[in-house]
Structure 1
Amino acid sequence: MLLSCCTKFLTLKMIKNMASIPSAVLHASFTKKENKMFQVNTFGLFCLLVIFSIACCDTNSIQIVNSGSTNTAGYNINIERNGQTKYSVFRRFPIGGNPQEKTTQLEQNLRENLFANIEMAMPLSQYPVKHCMKSASFGYSLRVTYNEQTSPDLACPLSEEKLVNVNKFVRDIVAYLNIKTIGN
C-alpha cells in the first residue's frame, strides 16, 4: 500500500511538473486515507533518518592516540561516555599479530572530568596547529579526537589553559590504565 501511495504521488508529481496542472487538482486525486497514510509514513521515515543520523555521528566517545616513537610504544584509547574504555598499546617491536585490545570500566570522576574539560575546550579546531622540536628517539605526538575534531599535539608545550587541563586528564587516564610506553 505504501509503495502504491508513493508511486501515485511521484507519478502525479511528474505530471504536475510536465503539464503545469494546479496542485489543488493533483491533491484532490488522493483519497483522504492515502493522504493520511502518506503523512504518517513520511513522518516515520523522517524519524528513522534522524535516529540514524544521531547514531552515525558518535558524539559519546573520546579517542586518545599516542603515536609512539623510535624508542617508545604508542597507544590508542577509546572512552565511551558510559565509562566503557578500550585500549591497545602498539609495541615498538611487534611479536606478530595485532596489539591486544583491553577493555575496562573507567572511574566516573576521571571520565566526567575528561569529557567536561574537552567540551569546555571545544571547538578543538580553534587552536592553531603547533609544531615543536622533539627528540628523534623519544619524540611522539599525543592527540585527542572528540565530535570529529582533533586537538593540536598535546605533547608540545601548551599555552592555552583549556588544552593544559585536557592534557592533565588525558595523562591521569593513561596512568590509571597503567599504560607503559617504555620497554614495549
Structure 2
Amino acid sequence: MSSTYIHTAFFVLLVTIVVVAQKPPVTIVNSGSTNTPGYTIIIQNDGNTHYYIAPSRAQIANSDGTGQQPTWTNGTAQLSSSTRKSLYCQTKHCEPFNKLPVESCGKSVSFGFTLKLTYKGETTPDLSCPTTNQNLENLITTVNKVISELKI
C-alpha cells in the first residue's frame, strides 16, 4: 500500500472518530409571558453558546404603528467549563426524557411561562414546575445556573 493511501485512510478514521464523539447541542427554551420576553439558548458541547431573546409582548403591542416590529436580541457567550459539564451530565442523568414525571403547576396568566430543555430530539417536561424527581431537580438547578451565568 502506498503511504498516501494509508495517510488518507487514517485521516478519514480520525475525522469519523471526532464527528461521532461530538455531543449534540442542548437547547433551552423559555416561552415568555405577557410581561416577560421568551428566549432560546443553544449550548454547544464546547461551551459556545448562542442566545435569542424575543421582544416582550408589551413591546410588540406598543410598536409605533409603522409596521416595524421590535426585533429579537441575539448574542454569543462562552459557558464556563464547569457549568457546561454539569449541564451535559445532568441532562444525561434524565434521559430518556419521556420517562420523566410530568408534574404540572399553576401559572399566572400574566407571568406564567414554560421552561424546557431539548437534547437529541427529546424535550423535558416544564422545568419551571417543582418536581419530586431528584435527577430532574438537579437538571433544573443546572439550567437555572446556565441562565444566571449568561445573565439572561
Decide whether the 8 Å contact of 2:27 with 2:41 is kept in 1.
Answer: yes
- Which of 101, 109, 117 aligns to 1:144? It is 117
Match of 2:35 in 1: 71
State how far apart, in whole Å, the 2-side matches of 1:80 and 1:151 are. 18
CA-to-aligned-CA distance 1:120-177 (integer Å, 9 cap, x gap): 1111110243332100110000000001110000111211111111110110111111
Q: Within the alignment, does 1:91 sit opposite 2:45 as a pair?
A: no
- For normalisation by structure 1, the TM-score amounts to 0.63
Per-residue CA deviation, residues 43-77 of structure 1 (Å, 9 max, x unaligned), is xxxx9xxx6xx78xx84200000000011111100
Answer yes or no: is the 8 Å Cα contact 2:43–2:49 preserved in 1. yes
TM-score by length of 2: 0.76
Letter in 1 for 2:116: R
Answering whether residue 46 of structure 2 is matched by residue 82 of structure 1, we say: yes
Q: Give, in whole Å, the separation in 1 of the partners of 2:96 and 2:42.
A: 19
Provide the aligned C-alpha RMSD in A: 2.1
Superimposed CA distance per residue, residues 91-115 of structure 1 (whole angstroms, 9 cap, x where no aligned partner)? 2124635413201111100000000
Give the aligned partner of residue 86 of structure 2: 113
- 1:90 corresponds to which letter in structure 2? A
Identical amino acids, percent of aligned pairs: 35
Structure richer in helix, relative to its length: 1
The equivalent of 1:24 in structure 2 is: none
CA gap 1:59/1:149 in 2 versus in 1, 3 angstroms: farther
Match of 1:175 in 2: 148
Structure 2 gaps of 5+ residues are 1-11, 64-68
Q: Show the 5 A alignment for 1:153-164.
A: 153-164=126-137
| Structure 1 unaligned blocks of 5 or more | 1-46, 180-184
> The residue matched to 2:73 in structure 1 has which SS?
coil
Equivalent residues, number: 127
Matching of residues 48-67 of structure 1 within 5 Å:
59-67=23-31
Cα distance in 2 for residues equivalent to 1:59 and 1:131: 30
1:104 aligns with 2:77: yes
